Amino acid sequence: MSNLEKYNEAFMEVFQIGEDQLTDDLKYQSIETWDSVGHMMLMAALEEAFDIMMETDDILVFESYPKGKEILSNNYDVEF
């Protein structure tokens, strides 16, 4: 699985959404399932998928689908 596929998989599984909803508009609280609980689940899923440990600040600024990609590629060497 490519990194993008792994990334998408985590979003779709945790938020119970389809691939068509993975857009630049997908943000924290833009859908009901991305609440604080969902956020924690997403972080857990991504840490497992990429075998990383995310820093506090990165978890807190991970506010959208595109922002997350930026954080993972800049700070955790995950290439998309």
Q: Which residues bind another protein (CB under 8 A)?
A: 14, 16, 28, 32-33, 35-41, 43-44, 55-56, 59-61
Comparing CB distances to another protein, the nearer of 16 and 80 is 16
Comparing CB distances to another protein, the nearer of 55 and 80 is 55
Comparing CB distances to another protein, the nearer of 2 and 74 is 74
Question: What is the DSSP secondary-structure string of 4-63?
Answer: HHHHHHHHHHHHT--GGG-STT-BTTTSTT-SHHHHHHHHHHHHHHHT----HHHHHH--
Closest approach, Cβ 41 to another protein, in A, equals 5
